[in-house]
Amino acid sequence: MISMRFPPWAIGAMILGLAGFAVMVAANVRQNRGVKRSLFAYPYSLWMVVFTIIPLLLIAYYAFTDRSGQFTLENFRTFWDSNHEMNKQLAELGFDPAALGGARGTVNVDTLVYSLWMAFLCTVICLFLGYPAALFMADRQFRLGATLVILFIIPMWMNFLLRTIAWMSLLEDNGLINSILTALGLPRMQLMYNSQAVLLGMVYNYLPFMVFPVYNALSKQDYRLSEAAMDLGASPILTFWRVTMPLSLPGVISGITMVFMPSVTTFFIPRVLGGGNTEMFGDLIERTFLSADNWNVGSALSLIMMVLILMSLTLLRKVDPEGEGGSTI
């Protein structure tokens, strides 16, 4: 059972936030002698403070403290050495961890590296599949472009969990694919509970997040630029390479960021399609919080992941400072 251990300052911050919200609303109404449009932004500000800023502060607080609330860096050491907690407990019981073969555990670091690798593969596959699709959808002479946009949007109306579970009926041992193989006299294939199934589920769920930013960037391009390049003697391939591709880079970078970040932190897809044989960093964080009931180490792992996400956002801001490649979702 999970024990809720909120520090007193967090509860006080929530109370002060609610009180400050009430004071700002009253001051705004009194100053403007009525309700102005700016007043409607206050609920969103309160939401951001209570459900975004304070939780981030709580994560930082738990990451740099122990169970007694004292400042420590042991949580990050546990990330580097997954056996650190066990070796520490053995030392407290009077045993020598080195004599018992207490080498550094690499489970946490290996899980992060594996998650980054799977997210990289997912992002690359989504880019190679999504860019041509976005290019066809944005082509003014392609009449089915609007239809393809709808076909990409319709699956997103279904719940993320249901979309992932639906793949089980296709990939499991008695699923549709193996049933077709058996009917054709071919041997069954092990399609579930491996990295390939996890990667397939990730690509399926995150592909639209690559397609739509690229499609948005391509559809906003002035087609007269491509026509001018071809009028000056450029071939269609050279026009694409020198005109279309550079102008679509903001959308590509936006799509890469929108696919890579959730791919690293995903945890439901490996659990369902990986069957426990594969564990990604999101699963590790969830297990640390819920199963191990270790908020401090879990917060340290979350903080490490947030640093990676901030690095991705920083890259996005440098390449696309105006947000021109924003998604159409």
Please give the CATH architecture assigned to the domain spanning 107-319. Orthogonal Bundle (1.10)
Alpha carbon 124 to its chain's center? 15
Distance CA 28, CA 34 (A): 8
Distance CA 158, CA 258 (A): 19
pLDDT along the chain (329 residues), means of 10: 62 73 69 63 75 86 88 90 73 62 77 92 95 87 77 83 87 86 87 90 93 90 83 85 87 88 87 83 88 89 88 71 50
pLDDT single digits (tens) 264-277? 888 889 888 887 77
The structure's pTM equals 0.81
Q: If residue 313 lies in a helix (H) or strand (E), which one and from where to where? A: helix 295-319
Distance CA 2, CA 216 (A): 44
Q: If residue 265 lies in a helix (H) or strand (E), which one and from where to where? A: helix 245-265
Distance CA 97, CA 100 (A): 5
* pLDDT number for residue 124: 95
Q: Where are the domains of the chain?
A: 8-63, 107-319
* pLDDT number for residue 320: 60
Distance CA 2, CA 47 (A): 25
Alpha carbon 42 to its chain's center? 28
* pLDDT number for residue 206: 93
CB 250 within 8 A of CB 319: yes
- Token code pair at residue 210: 């690559």
Classify residue 67 by its DSSP letter: T
Question: In the block, which residue shows the tokens 């009180």?
Answer: 19
pLDDT single digits (tens) 172-200? 888 888 889 888 888 888 888 889 999 99
* pLDDT number for residue 205: 92
Other C-beta atoms closer than 10 Å to the C-beta of 240 total 16
Query: Could you tell me the CA-to-CA distances from 69 to 5, 32, 88, 254, 302 in Å, in that order?
Result: 10, 45, 18, 39, 18
Classify residue 69 by its DSSP letter: S
Burial track 95-122 (b if 16+ CB lie within 10 A, e otherwise): eebeeeebeebeebeebbebbbebbeeb
CB 44 within 8 A of CB 3: no
* pLDDT number for residue 322: 62
Distance CA 22, CA 65 (A): 33
Q: Residue 189: what residue type?
A: M
* pLDDT number for residue 105: 75
